[in-house]
Amino acid sequence: MDFKSNVPIYLQVTADLKARILTGEIHPGDKLPSSRELALSYEINPNTAARIYTEMERQGLSYTKRGIGTFVTEDTSVLEYHREQELKRILHAFTSELKSFGYDTDDIPNLLKKYSEKKEVTE
């Protein structure tokens, strides 16, 4: 967590948990840590942890069973939607960066092929 960032802590932690869910580190149906456990692991206020779970539920990434805990959604369409949104965000940033270096959109497939086959990046 970057406590000096302009991005609120609850959004930073939400993004981290979301990434862990979308990459499969945390699986659909898995029980998430309690708000108190989450607060301890991220060294944040328990109220912030509760806000994180509220935000995750708002995004459809989790649900709460009263008295039992918070769980990752098992709705694969929701997870696929979020994966696609992340893909769009990453590709937009990637193509924008390449264009700022003077590459054309038509160059991108060849660049991807060329550099995805290399084992290391040289400086």
Q: Which residues contact 70 (CB under 8 A, 6 or more apart)?
A: 31, 32, 34, 53, 56, 57, 62, 63, 64
Domain containing 85: what range?
77-116
Size of the chain, expressed as the number of residues it contains: 123
Q: What is the pTM of this model?
A: 0.80
User: Does residue 69 sit in the same domain as residue 83?
Assistant: no
User: Does residue 25 sit in the same domain as residue 59?
Assistant: yes
Q: Whole-angstrom Cα distance, residue 61 to residue 74?
A: 9
What is the tens place of the pLDDT at every residue in 66-86? 999 999 999 999 999 999 999
In-domain check, residue 3:
no
User: Does residue 43 sit in the same domain as residue 68?
Assistant: yes
For the chain, what is the domain count?
2
User: Does residue 68 sit in the same domain as residue 15?
Assistant: yes
Q: Whole-angstrom Cα distance, residue 92 to residue 50?
A: 32
In-domain check, residue 2:
no
What is the tens place of the pLDDT at every residue in 80-107? 999 999 999 999 999 999 999 999 989 8
User: Does residue 86 sit in the same domain as residue 34?
Assistant: no
CATH of the domain at 57: 1.10.10.10
